Amino acid sequence: MELLSYVIRKLIGGIPLILGVTLISFVLMVYFGPDKTFELLSKNPTEAEIAQVRAQLGYDRPFLVRYAEYLKEMATLDFGFSDSTGERVSSILSRTIPVSLALLAPGFVLGNLLGIVLGLVAAWYRGGWVDKLIMGGAVVGMSISFLVVIVAFQALFGVVLGWFPVRGWNVHDLPSYAYYVTVPTLASVFVALGYNTRFFRAVLVEEINRDHVRTARAFGARPAEILFRNVLMNAMIPIVTRILFSIPLIVVSGSLLIESYFGIPGIGKVTFDAITSGDQPILKAVVGLTAVLFVLILIVTDILYRVVDPRVSLTGDAR
Amino acid sequence: MSDPGIILPAPEPAAARLRPERTSLWGRALDQFRRDHAAITGLAIVAVFFLMAVGVWFGWWGTQWSQALGGRWEGPSGGHWLGTNLLGQDIFQRAVYSTRTAFEIGLIVAILSTLLGGLLGALSGFYSSRWIDSVLLWLMGTLDSIPFYLFVAAVAVAMAGNPWAMHIAMVATFWTTTARLVRGEVIKLKNLEFVEAAHAIGLGQFRIIFRHLLPNTFHILLVQGTIVFVSAIKAEVILSFLGLGVQDGVSWGLMIAESTQEVLAGQYMNFIVASSFMFVLVMAFNLFSDGLQDALDPRRAPR
Amino acid sequence: MTRINQPHPVLRVDNLCVEFATTAGQIRAVDQLSFSVEAGQTLGIVGESGCGKSVTSLAIMGLLPKPAGRIVDGSVLLDGQELTRLPEGRLRQLRGAELSMIFQEPMTALNPVYSIARQMTAVLKRHQQLSARQARHRAIEMLARVGIPRPDQRIDDYPHQLSGGMRQRVMIAMALSCQPKLLIADEPTTALDVTTQAQVLRQMVDLQQELGTAVILITHDLGVIAETCDQAVVMYCGSKVEQAPVADLFLQPRHPYTAGLMQSIPRIREHKLDRLPVIEGQVPNLAALPPGCRFAGRCPNREDRCVQQQPPLTERGAQQFACFNPWNGPVES
Ligand SMILES: Nc1ncnc2c1ncn2[C@@H]1O[C@H](COP(=O)(O)OP(=O)(O)OP(=O)(O)O)[C@@H](O)[C@H]1O
Ligand SMILES: [Mg+2]
């Protein structure tokens, strides 16, 4: 009950964020977005024909009315059909989102896990050569562009070695999944690892200097135990925050480059195409979902905070 | 213990015997930075690239980046130091010219977004928990929730091919981090004595913000500026690949984008040169930026 | 206080020297320090902030910050076993079992994300092959013995649900739960208020007496020394300047530094002292120590040779002091 009322309060609190995201996307993608008038007209349209099509598209109505309309369609989940292919938006989404998730999940999990492990090792040996080596590697990793990594990995694994496909996504079972997902995964782990390791090391070092770590050492705890129970478990709040909040950005933004480069039909590519072609039904759906996803993540993080730290309470009174 | 024959005067206070340390933030930072070899090396490399960019501005070199001077995919030679690309353009000249593009993008985006972030962050912090702060926080939260590349794409499309679309989109997304940091610092500072004193003697609010608060967040702005510079250069590459980036001229991103076809044909020169130029500059800037952070943020001192 | 006579002491520290590598060069934080503690006995260590008390205890525990801090000379014998040459794995088995340590800050010394039960049973299971149930039982018993009311319920609390005094009791219970031979308490009560301080100390001493544990009690507070210790070591700038049974020490301090400390104790102590009483002058910098007596710069009894030569430790009865020109007069406060 406490949880339910909390979630409801949080959802209400998320409304300004949803309004903000939809407003900005409306202004950019719809109000100033591609003008489709002339696509619907014949060769030499008359003034009257133009005006008629504009009215039909709703371009002549005032800003607020159009925004309200946009919100209404979003709220009723009535996204209709894609302008360019005529396919149902909901079926486009249910086709492409799983592809993106399957494409990104291994890299996301591995990138974070490896980052945490490397961060722990570096923090434990802070100041020593192991730390310097790992952090030096992280700076190098951070300095290489995602695009360069993708091109290089594709050339290496697809062209030179020929182990993995150059493009495409023809997945029907586990081996074919592994076949198509490996190179994108390697690329995204490589790119994320530098940033992740640095972030995780910083929060872990913060914890490793705490008094309770010294206490654990004074009571004979092993390094592995200290790293897990005293260091990692106490750094969970920033770690959870970072990991969860990177999800929506990665699903929509991070997938874009990989999907366009490897020709994979995921949500990133679909959204990008929708922006450039002005396919508003798809944009509405994606933007609305992203905003809702953010609010949900806000709630999930708060609940997870309470799971990982007994001092946190959902009502927000204890420190 | 040693030399018992010499009679020492009574020991003077410990503080007096310590090496005279600079006390100000900037003095200490300078001392620390000077000892940081990686950061100094980074700065030197950045300076070399900057000179390269300046030379392009003045037309000293990199002028023939667009002409097809040779055949396609020529190997390195006296005429074309690093060979030619698919269209027979000189790869070295293009890479050098792209340095200018990179600095233009990096500097414009870094300066504008730090200014914007500093200003709005200071306002937000100074009026914390008033309506102006709430609005700004809402704006930051909103901008942070829109996936970056989609946002840039939307701006680019909305501005219908305007060459500044990319810059505007980057500034619009990059300022929020700076603003949050400055906001936090200003909230801390405004409760300090000197600000309260400024209030007491009746200084105007804007005067307090601009003369007393913002200057004290300069270290944050500087570090953030270097971070944004790197982010902008890296974002440009991806945006150019997506066709949303540099509209006229050439950049490392465009070179890499055009090289993707060449790579599949087994021609790596264009790709390697553009990637390497970019990697070296970004790496050098990262080292420099790290050194700055270590020097300016006491909490980041090695522990 | 009762003294269990034993042929050799539980802990013998001999000529201990600890150095730190710093940007200002090699610092000797502890210099030729020797003392010993017997079972059931409490040894107090006093001295100004920065004189090396904590470094001494960390050196005994083998917990000096690596790689900066290092034991460069001397030996630490626990029950005849040389600790300074023990491999880390062996030492780890001793920590919490044979030698325990509690720290100054009870508020932050416990892991905030685990319950008291989790933390106490982890120690017991680690060192004493107890089952989960036995460990829990034992932990509750220890909590009861340090005077925590309703220990069977409190044990499931998290540290943030306990007061500072309670947390320090938990630390004491945890430190003594495996019946160590030696307990090092580094300013265990400095962070507590006066009443709690007295109670917690009392509880610690009682339990120590019951278990026959040897204790090293580090403090800023000469009053605490007078009330709880058998022997006291006075440190200055990393070395021992005086050691004596507590009664002798208070009767007739020999080192002018000790005398200075005592002189500045207010007769009626209404509030606790969280720092030592102020003595005129400055502590010399550890990176550039004078060749003579380290206290010479502040000493009222200074002679010429004091600044040229280090005074050796002189024994007079049970009392040891390092001074050429020892204090003889009464101590007025
Ligand atoms: N990690 C370290 N690196 C360098 N020097 C250190 C380090 N830890 C301690 N020292 C040096 O050792 C000296 C003794 O420190 P220590 O913590 O033992 O003092 P203390 O007597 O416990 O003081 P306090 O009463 O304040 O706890 C300090 O003056 C300091 O110069
Ligand atoms: Mg101490």
Q: Which atom of ligand 1 lies closest to the CA of C58?
A: 18
Determine the length of chain B.
Answer: 303
Is pLDDT at C119 greater than 70 in this prediction? yes
Distance C287 CA to ligand 1 centre (A): 12
- C319 CB less than 6 Å from ligand 1? no
Average pLDDT rounded to a whole number, residues C248-252:
87
Distance C52 CA to ligand 2 centre (A): 7
Q: Which chains, if any, share at least 3 CB pairs under 8 A with chain A?
A: B, C
Tell me which chain B residues have a C-beta less than 8 angstroms from the C-beta of C283.
Answer: 14
Q: What would the pLDDT profile of C89-108 be if each residue is shown by its tens digit?
A: 999 999 999 999 998 888 89
Count of CA atoms in the C-beta half-sphere (13 A) of A93: 20
How much is the ipTM here?
A: 0.86
Q: Which two tokens stand for residue C301?
A: 């009894």
| In CATH, A96-308 is 1.10.3720.10 | yes
pLDDT at A75: 78
Q: What would the pLDDT profile of B233-243 be if each residue is shown by its tens digit?
A: 998 888 888 88
Mean pLDDT computed over every residue of chain B:
80
Instruction: With both helix axes pointing from N to C terminus, report the angle between B218-241 and B148-158 in degrees, rounded to the nearest 10.
Output: 70
pLDDT at B78: 66
pLDDT at A175: 86
| pLDDT confidence bin for B114, thresholds 50/70/90 | very high
For chain C, give every domain's residue range. 109-179
Is pLDDT at B134 greater than 80 in this prediction? yes
Is pLDDT at C14 greater than 70 in this prediction? yes
| pLDDT confidence bin for B91, thresholds 50/70/90 | confident
Average pLDDT rounded to a whole number, residues C78-82:
91
> Are the beta carbons of C285 and B4 separated by less than 8 Å?
no
Chains A & C: contacts with CB separation below 8 Å: 75
**Helix (H, G, I), strand (E, B), or coil: what is residue C22?**
strand
- What whole-number distance in Å separates Cα of residue A144 and Cα of residue B221? 24
**Angle, vertex CA B54, rays to CA B53 and CA B55, nearest 5:** 90
Which of C45, C53, C102, C104 gets mutated to test ligand 1 (max ligand atoms within 8 A of its CB)? Answer: C53
| pLDDT confidence bin for A197, thresholds 50/70/90 | very high
**Three-class SS of chain B:** CCCCCCCCCCCCCHHHHCCCCCCCHHHHHHHHHHHCHHHHHHHHHHHHHHHHHHHHHCCCCCCCCCCECCCCCCCCCCCCCCCECCCCEEHHHHHHHHHHHHHHHHHHHHHHHHHHHHHHHHHHHHCCCCHHHHHHHHHHHHHHHCCHHHHHHHHHHHCCCCCCHHHHHHHHHHHHHHHHHHHHHHHHHHCCHHHHHHHHCCCCHHHHHHHHHHHHHHHHHHHHHHHHHHHHHHHHHHHHHCCCCCCCCCCHHHHHHHHHHHHHCCCCHHHHHHHHHHHHHHHHHHHHHHHHHHHHCHHHCCC
Q: Which two tokens stand for residue B124?
A: 């937000």
Phi-psi category of residue C125: left, alpha or beta, with phi > 0 → left and psi -120 to 50 → alpha: alpha
Q: Which atom of ligand 1 lies closest to the CA of C286?
A: 31
Protein residue whose Cα sits closest to atom 12 of ligand 1: C29
Check if B21 contacts C (Cβ < 8 Å): no
Q: For chain B, which domains are there?
A: 92-300 (1.10.3720.10)
- What whole-number distance in Å separates Cα of residue A236 and Cα of residue A246? 15
Is pLDDT at A315 greater than 70 in this prediction? no
- What whole-number distance in Å separates Cα of residue A127 and Cα of residue A132? 7
Average pLDDT rounded to a whole number, residues A130-148:
92
Check if B11 contacts C (Cβ < 8 Å): yes
Protein residue whose Cα sits closest to atom 22 of ligand 1: C54
All residues at 6 or more sequence positions from C183 whose CB lies less than 8 Å from its CB, including other chains = C99, C100, C101, C102, C175, C176, C208, C213, C214, C215, C216
Is pLDDT at B115 greater than 90 in this prediction? yes
Average pLDDT rounded to a whole number, residues A182-208:
92
Minimum mean pLDDT range among A54-63, A121-130, B209-218: A54-63
- C49 CB less than 6 Å from ligand 1? yes
- What whole-number distance in Å separates Cα of residue A149 and Cα of residue A140? 12
Average pLDDT rounded to a whole number, residues A288-314:
83
- What whole-number distance in Å separates Cα of residue B143 and Cα of residue B116? 14
Is pLDDT at C156 greater than 90 in this prediction? yes
**Interior/surface letters C145-162, b for 16+ CB within 10 angstroms, e for the rest:** bbbbeebeebbebbbeeb
DSSP, residue by residue, chain A: -HHHHHHHHHHHHTHHHHHHHHHHHIIIIIISS---GGGGS-SS--HHHHHHHHHHHTTTS-HHHHHHHHHHHHHTT---B-TTT--BHHHHHHHHHHHHHHHHHHHHHHHHHHHHHHHHHHHHTTTSHHHHHHHHHHHHHHHS-HHHHHHHHIIIIIIIS--S-SS----SSHHHHHHHHHHHHHHHHHHHHHHHHHHHHHHHHHHHTSHHHHHHHHTT--HHHIIIIIIIGGGHHHHHHHHHHHHHHIIIIIHHHHHHHHT---HHHHHHHHHHHT-HHHHHHHHHHHHHHHHHHHHHHHHHHHHH-TT--TTS---
The residue among B137 and B147 whose pLDDT is bigger is: B137
Q: Which residue has the tokens 């005077």?
A: C147
Is pLDDT at A319 greater than 90 in this prediction? no
Q: Which two tokens stand for residue A214?
A: 């010294």
All residues at 6 or more sequence positions from A79 whose CB lies less than 8 Å from its CB, including other chains = A73, A89, A90, A281, A282, A284, A285
Phi-psi category of residue C158: left, alpha or beta, with phi > 0 → left and psi -120 to 50 → alpha: beta
Q: What would the pLDDT profile of C255-272 be if each residue is shown by its tens digit?
A: 888 888 887 665 444 444
pLDDT at B5: 28
Q: Which two tokens stand for residue B33?
A: 């930075």
> Are the beta carbons of C291 and B17 separated by less than 8 Å?
no
| pLDDT confidence bin for C143, thresholds 50/70/90 | very high
- What whole-number distance in Å separates Cα of residue B198 and Cα of residue B194? 6
Cα of B22 to nearest chain C Cα, Å: 15
Peptide bond into B215 cis (omega under 30): no
The residue among A59 and A258 whose pLDDT is bigger is: A258
| pLDDT confidence bin for A213, thresholds 50/70/90 | very high
| pLDDT confidence bin for B80, thresholds 50/70/90 | low
pLDDT at B112: 96
The residue among C82 and B1 whose pLDDT is bigger is: C82
Question: What DSSP designation does C95 have?
Answer: B
pLDDT at A189: 93
